[in-house]
Structure 1
Amino acid sequence: MPERPLLLFPTPEVTSKSNLGGGGGRPHLPTHYRQGERLAPKFTQLQEAVRARNIEIQQAVTGIDPEQVLVMETIGSVEDFANAVKRIDGFEWMGEFEIDEIGPDQDFFDEKHPEKELSGRLYMVMTNQRALDEMLSMWRRYTDQEDPKQKFDGGLTKFRDVFLRLKDIRRWDVKDRLLETGVIDAWKEDLEHDGGRLIRFEVELWFRNSEEKRSQSSAIVASLIQQLGGHVLAESLHEGIAYHGILAELPANAIQAVVDNPNTELVKCDSVMFFRPVGQMLAGEGLLEDEAVYSDLEEHSLPDGEPVIAVFDGLPLANHRLLNGRLIVDDPDNVESTYNANERVHGTSMASLIVHGDLNDGLRPLGRPVYVRPIMQPIPNDFRAPRREHIPDDVLLVDLIHRSVKRLFEGDGSEGPVAPSVRVINLSIGDPYRQFLQSMSPVARLLDWLSLTYGVLFIVSAGNQSDAIQLGISRTEFESSDPQEQETAVVKALFSDARNRKLLSPAESINGLTVGSVQYDSSHFGAVNNRFNPFLQFLPSPVSAFGSGYRRAIKPDIVFPGGRVLYQEDLRSSRRDNYVIKPVEPSIRNTPPGNKSAIPARQSGSLEGIAYSCGTSNAAALMSRAAGICYDSLQQIFEEQAAEVDARIHEAPLLKAMLVHGCAWGDVGAQVGDLLRTPENNRQLSGLVSRWMGYGVPQVNRVLDCTEQRATLLGFGQLSDGEAHVFRLPLPPSLGARPEWRRLTVTMAWLSPISAGTQKYRTASLWFEVGGVVPAKDRKESCSGTDGWRAVRRGTVQHEVFEGQRAEPFIDGDVIEIKVNCREDAGKIHNPVAYGLAVSLEVAEGLDIAVYNEIRTRIAPAIQIQQATDQGRG
């Protein structure tokens, strides 16, 4: 037990929620006459296109009522439009996306800032001809009437509101099914490398409300695939995430025909939402250099107890000297039969980082075993040696992860749960063909659903973006600059290309903890040929993917040292006036820099190989290790201070809050902000910085114990819609009269249920407010600026830092009040939502202000009174 352990808050006071403020600028909207004039050609085109497509469908399939998906793009949003859609027979709500970066024009613009980009919605509605005719009738009524505010009968007035904001209307077409997913590029690559084999892919169907419609959609798509000489290999349905997917394969000549001309019956099929590649989640390039040998192994006792951390990754070399006896490898799919020993690269490295941390740092191994479920395997026909690892293409990833998690907590077939003690699942994989743009990927939706269902925290890598960096200056100019100027050039180039360096699925998961990488490790290395480190400071890695997350929530959540990436000139792309640099390959090497971890040896029989690597996978693995350490600390706190409390439902939210609670930007956030500052973005700088850094770099040691000058308290609870809890933190009296620097840090996390078919998506909105007597009032870092306080409330973790230096007048008995509120967001909250809270108050180390002791002596009596009250009720 540490000398000054974290403290638990007394049971909070129950009250009603506060009103949630907010609201942004108002867009200028055209008149209904102007809308009629502007959109008349689009409605005419829509009518003609729908009728033509209906004729095609009826000629191909007899006895069917043709249905197509309409896409309505609006500026801003219309609340509860889905309810109006459901009132029209023949309409079926398919979902909605939030869209950003819409350029203003003469009809739609921000009234206060006309040059500002706008946000809006894409509404998707399945329609037959009868329902479309009814909507067209409403449209004509809207444009013809004198009073644009006249209501529509039958609860359909929301259509009037959509017409007012309507920017475009069209059919969901071939471009939509292929463009966002990267499937065409993946198919071209498959055809180039192995044009004679069957090519597998995923078909994501529109999720229909009725089982009959789902069966009909599946049968239509299967028939079209068979007509092209292909087969359906698997089908997956998951109502909780509104997912209906098919795994299929087609001969190469059929794929080539689609690449040459996408307007085929299969691609035009109106049951299809997206086509996606499969088997594209690669794990590094394999070890392309001879490994080093680890000779510094200090003997430690083997772990005991139940596993808390699970790793879904490649198969590790479990008998490696660094891992032997420390892993529980569960391989129900017999993935081991596909691997050679020297190909177990990624899983071995991730397991090593979780068990031992970065071997550069000489840390003690975890005291619990780590559960490993291999979900990757070598690419069968890979030309490299060792072969690269990937998610196999004979399974839908949604199914694979669902089965893997269900096996942990419920079992598989007749077998019972294999590791129900797991609270954290590490997922250091990302789909390079699925950058997060506007819609939640099926896998991210699944992680969100699983996390709440089983009370488990997914720690997910943000994804590596290893494309070359175009600096926009000559090589001579770059090399003649000092290192600080070079760093500035690289940072500005990264931000200017941020839209092409976004999070990789499933990093957009709202309940997961998304981890980016910091360009740091503690290895020692000298200059090597033409390779260089572009950053002097403790900055995020140049390969670490950019946020934001869904609905502009802060993502990545945190960044953590994932090893230094070296760069060199990209000779193929550089031009005289545009110096281009790229990461040095391979990503796994036998020399520093990088995080040092166990690795399979190229030489058969050797079990002591180590190598250096870098990237967001490493950062996520190291954060999973930190979560395991926090879990043991949390258990100890409850055993010592609240042994009677069953904290199981709160463990994942508390772990999430603890991992974020120690986060800070430090000086780096301000320096990055200064590099990016312009007169136009000055008030939004915190949002720009958080897209790269999230809430910052966690100092995990700060949530394992306290100091004389810093007290950290944990709280937890469950809330339903309209409810709130108030926690009270006693103020240390000796601080009141002192004009000393002080900081208040508050972090709250929860796992939200989801409403997969809605734009809001997050069913439960929780947020805290700080009241009472507040000794530090200046918002800092991610919660600063005009929009910072809103941004930190958009996800499922809210982290705010307040600082001050004024002597605040307060007396013994005064308290800081932390009010945690809950309201429904995207749908009904059917069960209370569990949350975890961490609050720290601190002054500068060394000051003669006993913050910890003064708070502890005032919080203890409140806990004792609460315990006595509870016993009396019992």
Structure 2
Amino acid sequence: MPTLKPGSGQYLHIEFVRDVRRQPDRRRANHKFPRPKPPTPEDLHQHAQDVSQGITEAVQQISQVRQGCGIEPSKLFVLEFNSVNLDLREIFEQRFKAWVVSEYKDKVGNQERYRFLVQFPTETSRQHLREEIRLYRTEANNIEVLPLKKRQEFCDALQAVRSVSRDERIGVRLREEGFPDVESFYVDVDLWHPGDPSDARQVLNDIRSMCAKYGGALTEEVRTSSLLLIKVYGSRQLAEVLLELDWVARVDLPPKLSQAYSQIFGEITLPDPVPIPLDDDPLVCVVDSGVISGHPLLANWVIEERDFDTGENTTTDLNGHGTSVAGLVVHGDITKCIESHQWQPRVRICSAKVLCHNRISKEVDIPANRRAELIIEDAIRYFVHERQCSIFNLSIASRDEVYRRGGQFQWAEKLDELARELDIVIVQATGNRPDPPIPEAVYTREEAQKAIRENLLNDENQRICNPSTAALVLTVGAIARSDALGHHQQNTGPRLKDAFAGVPANAPAPFTRTGPGLVYGVTNFAVKPEIVAYGGNWAIQTMAGGSPRWNRSFIFLGEPTLQRESNGRFITARNGTSFACPHVAHAAAIAAVSLKATLGQKPSANLIRALVGSATIAPPCPPDWLDDEKETLRLVGYGMCSVDDLTWSKKNQVRLIAMDEVELDKLHIYRVAVPQVFLFTKGKRGITVALAYDPPVQSSRKEYLANTMWIEALHGLTTEEVEIYRAKNAVQDVDLLPPGKEIKLRPPKTDVQWSTLQVRRIKWSRKPKLIIPDGETEPVIHFVVGCQQRFSTGFDDKQRYGLVVLFWHESEEIELYQALRNRVTLKAARVRVGA
């Protein structure tokens, strides 16, 4: 029998289904923007000449570099095009048979500006472009590639053509640190994907030959739908040549990963014996620096360890980072374990060792000879196939690659592709900022802590980093559990003098990274991080009258967890989002087993994410820290997750769950009749809806997500009326409903529509005013789930999603569970055939 099963007063969640009648189409928006003003004949000639000259100069520059590299100069040219008020992607790809490898859009006033990087596969495709510009300049009526009107629009919109500069290809670490002072070193090189697999092979072969010509080697390769990612070992001369090559998107030094410090925490009474897990207990793969599987608080719960060629030739954790992460995955809240003297492990782990111990810095690093994307992909695929892992903890981030608008990171895109393809939940840390500024011109502790809050919101250097911008992962930030600097009254334990905590307890940690996440267009943002958990705190300390500095390792500010044995001690306290992340991985593993008990089958990653999201609550921060809704989304996302709340439904806290797929540009409608006991029992009550989905992604597209989804709650309407009104909607933020028919969930759907996990809520202090529809005897809420295709991928015509609707009431005496079960359309019972 499984150890995870409902206890007294606990129930399986309720699986409900949508209304299966005709689902209305959701009509597409017809956005129109003013076209560029046609130029005068004189201006037209000059404009065409400038564009043509730009192409000529760019081609000459690229050819010169190609010849020096020994690469055929006529194939696969990458040029940059800029246009105004006209999206040229379709023209490039359908008319000129070119491939848009990257695009970006912004808006100035009423004018939209586009930037395209276009790869032309052949000399012929480039000549077609030149010919169209010549015909435009002479105002000829010939139809070669483009019809006359289309040619005029296309050429009018073109503003500039050029090759990408060397400076634009330099990665963050390489720009800040320069080339290593050694003869040969590793660099990460990102190549533009040519779109066709055979062309990709040719590009890799040409790069391989070029590396050999300069005494180097291409040592690894990994692919996403938009990029070819390689690891190169060689000299500075080789790196300089790569920086000049038009196929190259970026050259950078390998990621440097942050590492928190550890200290001995104290003695504990170890369990004897350690419990033995069952085969159906929750399972997480910890992708980190390995574990100490013989640790007395991990023994029996590490079911497999594997070293993915880190160079250390052992699965054992030589650093301690992975062991500290693993302890929180296995036990959850270790603080509660210490306080209660009860050690009850709940989650089994697999250990995927991808990080190695840096003996000089004492940090953990991706091995220099491995691409981060590839070594992590190898680890994930192995444990999916061999152990059927569906939850992965990645307390790994590249602190130097901070997101400052623009396109998606390649590492993040690879995680998104893996999450969707393998149907897994990846729990990813936001990363830490190692050097946030010390507040100045403040005169009280409160002023200093508020200044740190403002820095978390306003400092671009505090934004989330690679790969925590990934759209389909659960990104986790850190909040502080403690702001205590020691025992000031009793002489028991250490005390930090001349210092104060960087932030108050339960507030976002000074080092955590904050949102927003990926930017779509100009004003649309993803919610990142989606979730926060306890991950430690720092202190500001003044030493001997000197300047204040950060104290990053005071033990009573850290997050309690396990450590490698030191002087007979096994517990420590550590700081970093690395140690917030496993709290959420632990919760996701519990959610997966709980959902399987309800469904009778393995739940989707979408439904697991939705269930975790439905159990979030705002951290109990001090006043003024989370007053503003938009700032709250950036600081803590949807809040911190309660494992106790998500595991089972209760009689006053009921979760309705659904796992489905919707056709693109259509709606699903779920009907819930609201019971009288929910309406008339005194006390606070509310509804939370959580929607998660996994669209295809493509970093070469400005919108990145191929599809977006949304959810809303309507009342006072029949199902037929819901279909009619919502089918009329042209865009989701234009409300054509009769007044007062939409329940005002917060945050508004426009603030979360670009997030693949959306959590929205409403809370009432007294009986809600829900309208009874015609023909009904009690109020009915329709939960409408919509899907909009943003661009075609040529594959799926449906979008998978998971939905969780939580009804809660503060009265523990209310009998809400059975009342709701009787008022929704239940999933048909599964019948086993045979013995």
TM-score range, shorter chain: 0.7 to 0.9
Checking the alignment, whether the CA contact within 8 Å between 2:285 and 2:383 is kept in structure 1 is no
Whether 2:195 is the aligned partner of 1:248: answer no
Give the whole-Å Cα distance in 2 for the aligned partners of 1:145 and 1:524. Answer: 77
Aligned to 2:39, the other structure's residue is in SS state: helix
Checking the alignment, whether the CA contact within 8 Å between 1:281 and 1:429 is kept in structure 2 is no
Aligned to 1:592, the other structure's residue is in SS state: helix
Displacement of 1:273 in angstroms is 1.8
Displacement of 1:271 in angstroms is 2.2
Whether 2:350 is the aligned partner of 1:371: answer yes
* Cross-structure match for 2:695: 752
Partner amino acid, structure 2, of 1:249: Y
Match of 2:783 among 779, 797, 818: 818
Displacement of 1:227 in angstroms is 3.5
Alpha-carbon spacing, 1:342–1:863, altered in 2? closer, same or farther (3 Å): closer
Whether 2:116 is the aligned partner of 1:126: answer no
Displacement of 1:130 in angstroms is 5.2
Aligned to 1:689, the other structure's residue is in SS state: helix
Give me the CA root mean square deviation.
Answer: 3.9
* Cross-structure match for 1:620: 581
Higher normalized helix content (fraction of residues): 1
Alpha-carbon spacing, 1:462–1:40, altered in 2? closer, same or farther (3 Å): farther
Whether 2:261 is the aligned partner of 1:301: answer no
* Cross-structure match for 1:459: 427
* Cross-structure match for 2:251: 275
Match of 1:176 among 152, 168, 179: 168
* Cross-structure match for 1:109: 109
Give the whole-Å Cα distance in 2 for the aligned partners of 1:863 and 1:340. Answer: 47
Aligned to 1:449, the other structure's residue is in SS state: helix
Give the whole-Å Cα distance in 1 for the aligned partners of 2:253 and 2:541. Answer: 31
Give the whole-Å Cα distance in 1 for the aligned partners of 2:716 and 2:219. Answer: 63
Aligned to 2:270, the other structure's residue is in SS state: coil
Partner amino acid, structure 2, of 1:214: A
Instruction: Give per-residue Cα distances to partners, 1:382-429, cap 9 Å, x unaligned.
Output: 424xx322110122222212222222233xxxxxx2x01x12011110
Give the whole-Å Cα distance in 1 for the aligned partners of 2:192 and 2:758. Answer: 33
Match of 1:230 among 184, 204, 216: 216
* Cross-structure match for 1:680: none
Matches within 5 A, 1:500-511: 500-511=461-472
Give the whole-Å Cα distance in 2 for the aligned partners of 1:792 and 1:357. Answer: 29
Checking the alignment, whether the CA contact within 8 Å between 2:101 and 2:193 is kept in structure 1 is no
Aligned to 2:285, the other structure's residue is in SS state: strand
Unpaired segments of 5 or more residues in structure 1? 103-107, 111-117, 259-263, 411-416, 575-580, 675-684
Partner amino acid, structure 2, of 1:268: E
Partner amino acid, structure 2, of 1:619: A
Give the whole-Å Cα distance in 2 for the aligned partners of 1:378 and 1:489. Answer: 35
Instruction: Give per-residue Cα distances to partners, 1:583-631, cap 9 Å, x unaligned.
Output: 4245xx6x2221111111355xx4x422111221111111111112222
Displacement of 1:780 in angstroms is 5.5
Whether 2:65 is the aligned partner of 1:86: answer no
Whether 2:33 is the aligned partner of 1:72: answer no
Instruction: Give per-residue Cα distances to partners, 1:628-658, cap 9 Å, x unaligned.
Output: 22223223333xxxx4xxx33x332111001
Matches within 5 A, 1:156-195: 168-178=160-170, 180-188=171-179, 190-191=180-181, 195=182
Alpha-carbon spacing, 1:337–1:266, altered in 2? closer, same or farther (3 Å): closer
* Cross-structure match for 1:553: 526
Give the whole-Å Cα distance in 2 for the aligned partners of 1:656 and 1:303. Answer: 24
Alpha-carbon spacing, 1:336–1:129, altered in 2? closer, same or farther (3 Å): closer
Give the whole-Å Cα distance in 2 for the aligned partners of 1:23 and 1:560. Answer: 42
Match of 1:329 among 301, 304, 327: 304
Whether 2:69 is the aligned partner of 1:51: answer no
Instruction: Give per-residue Cα distances to partners, 1:777-804, cap 9 Å, x unaligned.
Output: 66455x24xxxx2231212112111234
Larger mean CA deviation between 333-342 and 624-633 belongs to 333-342
* Cross-structure match for 1:261: none
Matches within 5 A, 1:92-491: 92-98=98-104, 108-110=108-110, 121-127=114-120, 131-132=125-126, 134-136=128-130, 138=132, 154=146, 168-178=160-170, 180-188=171-179, 190-191=180-181, 195=182, 197-236=183-222, 238=223, 241-251=225-235, 254=237, 264-278=240-254, 280-284=255-259, 287=262, 291-299=264-272, 300-306=274-280, 308-333=283-308, 337-338=312-313, 343-362=318-337, 364-379=343-358, 382-384=359-361, 387-410=362-385, 417=386, 419-420=387-388, 422-437=389-404, 438-469=406-437, 471=439, 473-474=440-441, 478=442, 480-481=443-444, 483-491=445-453
TM-score (norm 1): 0.79
Checking the alignment, whether the CA contact within 8 Å between 1:18 and 1:821 is kept in structure 2 is no
Give the whole-Å Cα distance in 2 for the aligned partners of 1:439 and 1:389. Answer: 27
Checking the alignment, whether the CA contact within 8 Å between 1:730 and 1:813 is kept in structure 2 is yes
Larger mean CA deviation between 770-779 and 370-379 belongs to 770-779
Partner amino acid, structure 2, of 1:378: H
* Cross-structure match for 1:578: none
Give the whole-Å Cα distance in 2 for the aligned partners of 1:77 and 1:443. Answer: 30
Checking the alignment, whether the CA contact within 8 Å between 2:477 and 2:531 is kept in structure 1 is yes
Instruction: Give per-residue Cα distances to partners, 1:295-328, cap 9 Å, x unaligned.
Output: 2334452222156211110111111111112112
TM-score (norm 2): 0.83
Alpha-carbon spacing, 1:600–1:772, altered in 2? closer, same or farther (3 Å): same
Give the whole-Å Cα distance in 2 for the aligned partners of 1:155 and 1:130. Answer: 19
* Cross-structure match for 1:842: 808
Instruction: Give per-residue Cα distances to partners, 1:49-102, cap 9 Å, x unaligned.
Output: 433443554576486415432223456672xx433212345x5213234455x7
Checking the alignment, whether the CA contact within 8 Å between 1:202 and 1:396 is kept in structure 2 is yes
Checking the alignment, whether the CA contact within 8 Å between 2:76 and 2:194 is kept in structure 1 is no
Aligned to 2:57, the other structure's residue is in SS state: helix
Displacement of 1:374 in angstroms is 0.7
Instruction: Give per-residue Cα distances to partners, 1:206-246, cap 9 Å, x unaligned.
Output: 2123344334322433343334332222333x3x5333233
Whether 2:3 is the aligned partner of 1:10: answer no
Partner amino acid, structure 1, of 2:233: E
Whether 2:484 is the aligned partner of 1:493: answer no
Instruction: Give per-residue Cα distances to partners, 1:716-763, cap 9 Å, x unaligned.
Output: 212232443322222012455689754221111122233454333323
* Cross-structure match for 1:577: none
Partner amino acid, structure 2, of 1:282: L
Checking the alignment, whether the CA contact within 8 Å between 2:105 and 2:702 is kept in structure 1 is no
Alpha-carbon spacing, 1:534–1:752, altered in 2? closer, same or farther (3 Å): same
Alpha-carbon spacing, 1:454–1:537, altered in 2? closer, same or farther (3 Å): same
* Cross-structure match for 2:673: 730
Instruction: Give per-residue Cα distances to partners, 1:317-340, cap 9 Å, x unaligned.
Output: 111111112112322546584569
Alpha-carbon spacing, 1:209–1:709, altered in 2? closer, same or farther (3 Å): closer
* Cross-structure match for 2:821: 856
Alpha-carbon spacing, 1:777–1:566, altered in 2? closer, same or farther (3 Å): farther
Whether 2:769 is the aligned partner of 1:807: answer yes
Partner amino acid, structure 2, of 1:693: V
